[in-house]
Structure 1
Amino acid sequence: MSTGLEIGNELPFGMKNLWSENGTANWHIIEQQDWFMDLQNCPQDPNFHAEGNVAIHTRMVLDALLELEEYQVLGGYDRQILKWSALLHDIGKPKCTITDEEGYIRAPKHAAIGEKMARKMLWDMDFKSREAICSLIRLHGLPIWCLDKNNPYAAVASASLRLVNKHLYLLSKADVLGRKSVNQDDFLERVELYKDFCIEQECWEEAKSFHNTHSQFKFFHKQSHYPAVIYDDTAFEIILLSGIPGSGKDTYAKTLKLPIISLDDIRAEFDIKVTDKKAQGKVAQIAYKRAKEYAAKKKSFVWNSTNLTHELRTRIVNTLSVYNPRFKLVYIETSKANIWSRRRATIPVRKLEKMMDKMEIPLPSEVHSIEYIRN
């Protein structure tokens, strides 16, 4: 029996051999990991986690997951994804745990932080497997709070484009069962309602279906409750590239045979250094001006920059959507070793590390279509 993921098992040193031959956790190895020691030293509010620290909760969650009948009938790949997600679901808590003014212990944004930490730890794991795990970590609280959101319809639809909602339900159910909480019964009921809601919205075991990519784009960007059938009247395409420097974006951009707006090329053209923070606004202004000129002529082009955060990508999309283009996002990455070797001469490793810490993976809900390339 394979103890690694069934498609790709390139795990970093220290993350191997965490699972036994029969699929259970090797706790004697896990407890030696620095990140798990941090969980042991991280307290939780006794009202919601009377069981104790985050490490105790993590063990209880994994045990609860393995006991679920719905989990036991899954295939090997699905079980592996869920086991990793349960083990790492609260890995971000030590970085953000605080005691608020009322004396409650809280960990705001721990899921978002945990997603980034897990991605960096598992960077060279098979991409599909890694992103399934990271997505589950990021959204593990969604089933409890989904129906309280302003637009739960968009929330479940967006989730279905990056993970399997059935998996998310199982992780969240194990998360609730693996604790001693005054709200446990209420949380379990909310998790079951999430399952019913996903089935009703036809995105339980499959991705939400749309009439076409333009209908999908409008659904998320107009914050609609129900997908409309919208005629695709787009006449040209804007291709946004995203990725850490050294991933291969420049090489890929040249294969597209389209005009390229490159922030690096603009800096070189106007002799602006990357370290000159005051001049970066000028670089962006030039890029936007050229993009609008192409868009006004309905001419397809490539926007080549790192575009590492959701905010940066959304700014471009919102600015240029008035021209009614199709937006395609191409995210490109490579191994850490390749990134360090390719860009060490121009960008310090510590800065590349910070970029990796900051990066937010592009999502299907941001654009008309998306492509992930691991080279």
Structure 2
Amino acid sequence: THTQRVVKSLGELAGWEKLSLTEKNILILAALLHDIAKPITFKLDEQGRPCFSDHSTKGYWKGREILMQTFTPPVPFFHREVIVSLIRFHRLPLKTDDNNKVEKLIYMASQTTPLYLLALLAEADVMGRISPDKQNLLDRVKLFRDFAKEKECFRQPKSFFNDHTRVLYFQNQDLDPQAEIKDNTKTEVIMMAGLPGSGKDYWIKKNMPSLPVISLDQIREEIQHPPSGDQSKVITLAKDRAKDYLRKEQPFIWNATSLKYHLRQPLIQLFTSYQARCRIVYRETLFSQILKQNQSRSRVVPPAVIYEMASEIDMPDLTEAHEVVYSIY
């Protein structure tokens, strides 16, 4: 199969023997899982040809779900996140469309993904294909390598003038990556993130007991609103309280699961618009322990809901916030 050929090709690549055992294991797992979402994304296009729309993103979710919930002992958190980031971006070295868009994607990928490993995975992916177009695709991988080396993000994340410039660059489509923007932040917002039962409340009590907390769960209790269905009223109330703290330049904690990028991003843009620095604190422990701890909460979340949430986590990273803390225990 293609996947077997990709794994075999890894060991034949120049540079493979120079990798550490950990790097080799990460690449092998990424290769085994890189097309994991193809079966669930399979469709025929208008010409009757098979297509797999967005299988990289869905593979990023599915790969994490598998590695988080089924491996015993579990794959270490930081190794797992490199593996799923490789899955997410495994087609990036082959892109040749809008140069500005690809440049930003490369800088984005470098924040979570060692690009030297991504290039090896892409090369093995090409070698594992049965295609007359292999050389053209390998040339694209070489261009990707050369670009990442030139921009000094091949073996380390793309660097920016400061944290604030990095956040604004990834928020703003038109900002130059070489821009030097003064950090004018006047306050800080801590955004908690993690599955129900992951210990977000415990982290707050232990580390920031004196800060005011905006908790979506508490607001639901106050207005007797169910946790399912339309949450717009809850979010509006929470945002109003946030704006009040932001106007006063009062640091506070936003306490919610915050597991989806499209939910975090508007909030972070709101915080930065009030000149607030944003720190995301992501909490995680063993998945079995999360399910167990959920049962001891005053507001128990149905296990089926936790499984569903865990199947589509968008891990917070430095493209979103001034600082990201991974509190793994």
| TM beyond 0.5 | yes
Q: Which of residues 319, 324, 335 in structure 1 aligns to 2:270?
A: 319
User: In the TM superposition, what is the alpha-carbon distance from 1:273 to its structure 2 partner?
Assistant: 2.4
Output one character per residue of 1:10-57: Cα deviation in whole Å (capped at 9) or x when no partner: xxxxxxxxxxxxxxxxxxxxxxxxxxxxxxxxxxxxxxxxxxxxxx00
Q: Can you give the 5+ residue segments of structure 2 that lack an aligned partner in the other structure?
A: 69-73
**Residues 1:356 and 2:306 aligned together:** no
Matched, 1:299 2:299: no
Q: Tell me the secondary structure at the aligned position of residue 365 of structure 1.
A: coil
Question: What residue number does 1:237 align with?
Answer: 188
Deviation at residue 225 of structure 1 after TM alignment: 3.9
Match of 2:282 in 1: 331
Residue 269 of structure 1 corresponds to which residue in structure 2? 222
Partner of 1:371: 325
Is the Cα–Cα contact under 8 Å of residues 153 and 226 in structure 1 kept in the other structure?
A: no
Superposition deviation, residue 204 in structure 1: 0.6
Give the one of 25, 34, 37 matched to 1:80: 25
Secondary structure of the structure 2 residue equivalent to 1:143:
helix
1:251 aligns with 2:202: yes
Structure 1 counterpart of 2:110, which letter? Answer: S
Moved over 3 A (4+): 146-150
1:96 CA displacement = 0.6
Q: Is the 8 A contact 1:146 1:194 kept in 2?
A: no
Q: Deviation string for 1:69-115 (max 9, x for gaps)? A: 21121111111111111111111111111111211101111111111
Hey, what's the Cα distance between the residues in 1 that align with 2:96 and 2:240? 40
Choose the corresponding residue for 2:52, options 107, 116, 137.
107
Cα distance, 1:118 vs. partner?
1.2
- The structure 1 residue matched to 2:152, chosen from 202, 205, 221, is 202
Task: State the alpha-carbon separation in 2 of the partners of residues 109 and 147 from structure 1.
Answer: 16
Equivalent-residue separation in structure 1 for 2:145 and 2:96 (angstroms): 11
Structure 2 vs 1, CA of residues 207 and 147 (structure 1 numbering), >3 Å: closer, same or farther?
farther
Deviations, residues 100-144 of structure 1 (Å, cap 9, x unaligned): 121110111111111111111111321011001000011000000
* 1:229-262 residue CA offsets vs partner (Å, 9 max, x unmatched): 2111111111111111000111112221311100
Question: What is the deviation of 1:146?
Answer: 5.6
Distance in 1, matches of 2:56 and 2:160, equals: 28
Instruction: Point out which structure has higher relative CO (alpha carbons under 8 A, 6+ apart).
Output: 2
Task: Tell whether the 8 Å contact from 1:308 to 1:359 is kept in structure 2 after alignment.
Answer: yes
User: Structure 1 residue 62: deviation in Å?
Assistant: 0.7
State yes or no: 1:62 paired with 2:32: no
| Alpha-carbon contact 2:160-2:177 (below 8 Å) kept | no
* Correspondence for 2:71: none
Aligned to 2:83: 133
1:97–1:106 CA contact under 8 A, matched in 2: yes
Paired AA for residue 138 in structure 1: R
Structure 1 residues without counterparts, runs of 5 or longer: 1-55
Structure 1: distance between partners of 2:111 and 2:289:
29
Percent pairwise identity? 36
Task: Provide the rounded CA distance (Å) in 2 between the counterparts of 1:344 and 1:290.
Answer: 30
Paired residues of 2:167 and 2:321 also in contact (CA < 8 A): yes
Name the SS for the 1:122 alignment partner. helix
What's the C-alpha RMSD, in Å, of the aligned pairs?
Answer: 1.4
Distance 1:167 1:296, change over 3 A: same
Return the match for 2:93 from 143, 155, 162: 143
Cα deviation digits, residues 167-215 of structure 1 (max 9, x gap): 0000001001110123322211111000010011110111112221112
Residue 277 of structure 2 aligns with an amino acid whose one-letter code is: R
The count of corresponding residues between Structure 1 and Structure 2 is 318
1-structure distance, mates of 2:31, 2:104: 25
Following the alignment from structure 2 to structure 1, what is the Cα–Cα distance between the partners of residues 202 and 169? 33
Q: In the alignment, which residue of structure 2 is the partner of 1:38?
A: none
Task: Mark the CA change 1:249 to 1:109 in structure 2 (over 3 Å): closer, same or farther.
Answer: same
2:171 matched residue in structure 1: 221
Distance of 1:298 and 1:147 partners within structure 2: 43
Give the AA of the match of 1:85. Answer: A
SS at 1:371's partner residue? strand
